């Protein structure tokens, strides 16, 4: 016969230990890439908490569908066309499995891509012993870029050419073309005389 006191104790112990045993989200992430002098540690809680940088990175960066899959699939059919901007490497620490050390999963991140941040996770990365990532291309929302910039990512793409250089180059080309046209027009006028 189970005594009520023992049942209450078992339920209390279950409530304390079960959430940590079944947590699927990463416990930490680091980002490396252009414009960063060292790895950028992304803090917060990585499962369902969109108020922290890690929570936003996980939800808007495609972590869960890329790791576990999702139906219907939120993946892009292929790599987006055009330039995606600078590439960053995100390394997630995923606790769980039989090892006391967390598994590490890698994801490419393009936070400055036109149309919103894009990520890619290679399929078949091992975690939790015999589990494998689904992988794929994913497009996040602009909220991801804003949260990562607030956490320490450069405000603008460090790989993009400065806007002034393009403006200066355009003005120089237009000025040069104007001189050539004016010279050609002057030569035609002299020839008619």
Q: How high does pLDDT run on average in the chain?
A: 83
Neighbours of 108 (CB within 10 A): 16
Q: Is the pLDDT of residue 174 over 90?
A: no
- Looking at the DSSP bridge assignments, the partners of residue 181 are none
Which one has a higher pLDDT value, 170 or 21? 170
Token readout for 86 is 């600078």
Is 59 within 8 Å of 47 (Cβ atoms)? no
Q: Is the pLDDT of residue 19 over 50?
A: no
- Looking at the DSSP bridge assignments, the partners of residue 31 are 40, 90
Q: How confident is the model at residue 24 (pLDDT cuts 50, 70, 90)?
A: confident
Q: How far from 140 is each of 3, 9, 69, 75, CA to CA, in Å?
A: 51, 43, 16, 10
pLDDT in tens, 48-85: 678 889 999 999 999 999 999 999 999 999 999 989 99
Return the pLDDT at 13. Answer: 38
Which one has a higher pLDDT value, 108 or 187? 108
pLDDT in tens, 45-56: 777 678 889 999
pTM of the model: 0.73
Return the pLDDT at 21. Answer: 38
Token readout for 42 is 């992304």
Is 92 within 8 Å of 127 (Cβ atoms)? no
pLDDT in tens, 105-120: 999 999 999 999 999 9
The most distant pair of C-alpha atoms in the chain lies apart, rounded to whole Å, by 120
Distance CA 119, CA 87 (A): 9
Closest CA to 48 of 12, 72, 22: 22
């Amino acid at each position: 016969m189970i005594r009520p006191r023992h049942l209450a104790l078992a339920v209390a112990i279950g409530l304390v230990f079960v959430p940590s045993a079944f947590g699927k989200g990463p416990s930490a992430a680091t980002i490396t890439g252009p414009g960063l002098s060292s790895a950028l540690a992304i803090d917060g809680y990585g499962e369902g908490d969109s108020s922290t940088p890690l929570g936003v990175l996980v939800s808007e960066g495609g972590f869960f569908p890329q790791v576990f899959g999702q139906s219907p699939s939120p993946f892009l059919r292929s790599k987006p066309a055009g330039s995606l901007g600078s590439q960053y490497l995100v390394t997630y620490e995923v606790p769980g499995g039989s090892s006391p050390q967390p598994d590490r999963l890698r994801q490419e991140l393009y936070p400055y891509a036109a149309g919103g941040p894009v990520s890619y996770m290679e399929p078949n990365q091992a975690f939790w012993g015999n589990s494998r990532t689904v992988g794929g291309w994913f497009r996040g929302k602009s909220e991801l870029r804003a949260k990562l910039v607030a956490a320490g990512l450069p405000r603008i793409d460090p790989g993009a050419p400065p806007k002034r250089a393009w403006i200066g180059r355009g003005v120089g080309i237009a000025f040069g073309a104007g001189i050539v046209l004016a010279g050609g027009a002057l030569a035609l006028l002299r020839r008619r005389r």
